[in-house]
């Protein structure tokens, strides 16, 4: 029987220290990301190329809540340009006058109302190119040490969810289903978190984050 790894309780400061050390070395990268890749039954030639990709960033923001270490996911509205109604990490496209790290923090403040000055960045995960939209996403991991209340941007965010690391690490929450997307039959791996199906780019990013969490917990 496959062993289910659950989160060993530790203080946020200890986890931040362990993650900071781990992120100095080579990352699991594409092999781990691709475990959550949507599998299509035929070849599709996308017009977007990685060489001309639009730089963007998202943030996995860690914080303590009711004795658990959690991070935030959002449900996008039906009016945003990309990934309508999907469950996502806060983030967006880089502006011309900023660094990617600043993009992740700025977008988090704009989308869910957390003060950018209260967010500290630990490091980043492997970039992920999305052929469908032409974005290349750099995921950052950060933390916040104070209590906060989210204030979602109504034009971008429908709901905000707090996901415990224990829920992400529970392998019973990694599932898959058959779907028809844009006329194609596909196999969709997803994480079931807070009762929401998290798939696509967000699931691929969380797959690498989960692998790193397992490493630092067992270290």
Domain carrying residue 196: 12-214
CATH code (residue 188): 3.90.79.10
CA distances from 25 to 85, 122, 126, 160, 215 (A): 35, 13, 11, 32, 12
pLDDT in tens, the chain (219 residues): 344 444 555 799 999 999 999 999 999 999 999 999 998 876 566 666 677 889 999 999 999 999 999 999 999 887 766 666 789 999 999 998 899 999 999 999 999 999 999 999 999 999 999 988 889 999 999 999 999 999 999 998 999 999 999 999 999 999 999 988 777 788 999 999 999 999 999 999 999 999 999 999 987
pLDDT at 83: 61
Query: Does 160 fall in a domain?
Result: yes
4 and 168 Cβ atoms separated by less than 8 Å: no
Q: What is the DSSP code string of 113-131?
A: ---GGG-EEEEE---EEET
CB atoms within 10 A of CB 171: 12
Helix (H, G, I), strand (E, B) or coil at 14: helix
**CA-CA distance, 128 to 54, in Å (whole number)?**
11
Query: Does 5 fall in a domain?
Result: no
Query: Does 7 fall in a domain?
Result: no
Number of domain units in the chain: 1
pTM score: 0.92
188 and 198 Cβ atoms separated by less than 8 Å: no
Q: What is the pLDDT of residues 47-85, one digit of tens each?
A: 666 778 899 999 999 999 999 999 999 998 877 666 667
pLDDT at 180: 83
Tell me, rounded to whole angstroms, the distance of Cα 202 from its chain centroid: 5
**CA-CA distance, 64 to 142, in Å (whole number)?**
12
Q: What is the pLDDT of residues 163-182, one digit of tens each?
A: 999 999 999 999 999 988 77
Query: Does 4 fall in a domain?
Result: no
Alpha helices in the chain (DSSP H): 12-22, 30-33, 100-112, 165-169, 201-218
Share of the chain above pLDDT 70, in %: 89
pLDDT at 86: 87
15 Cβ neighbours under 8 A, 6+ residues apart: 62, 69, 216
Query: Does 39 fall in a domain?
Result: yes
Query: Does 109 fall in a domain?
Result: yes
Strands 135-143 and 54-65: parallel
Query: Does 68 fall in a domain?
Result: yes
Strands 120-124 and 87-88: unpaired
Query: Does 93 fall in a domain?
Result: yes
Torsion, Cα 8 14 16 20, to 10 degrees, reads: -110
pLDDT at 5: 41
């Amino acid at each position: 029987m496959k062993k289910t790894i659950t989160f060993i309780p530790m203080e946020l400061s200890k986890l931040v220290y362990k993650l900071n050390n781990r992120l100095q070395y080579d990352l699991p990268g594409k092999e781990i990301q691709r475990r959550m890749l949507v599998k299509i039954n035929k070849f599709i030639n996308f017009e977007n190329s990685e060489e001309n990709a639009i730089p963007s960033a998202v943030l996995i923001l860690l914080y303590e809540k009711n004795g658990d270490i959690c991070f935030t996911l959002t449900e996008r509205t039906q009016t945003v340009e990309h990934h309508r109604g999907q469950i996502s990490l806060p983030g967006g496209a880089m502006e011309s006058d900023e660094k990617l790290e600043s993009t992740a923090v700025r977008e988090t403040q704009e989308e869910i109302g957390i003060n950018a000055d209260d967010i500290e960045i630990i490091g980043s995960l492997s970039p992920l190119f999305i052929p469908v939209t032409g974005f290349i996403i750099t995921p950052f991991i950060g933390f916040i040490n104070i209590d906060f209340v989210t204030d979602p941007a109504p034009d971008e965010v429908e709901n905000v969810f707090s996901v415990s690391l224990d829920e992400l690490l529970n392998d019973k929450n990694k599932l898959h289903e058959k779907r028809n997307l844009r006329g194609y039959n596909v196999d969709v791996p997803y994480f079931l978190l807070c009762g929401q199906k998290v798939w696509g780019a967000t699931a691929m990013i969380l797959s690498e984050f989960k692998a790193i969490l397992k490493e630092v917990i067992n270290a």
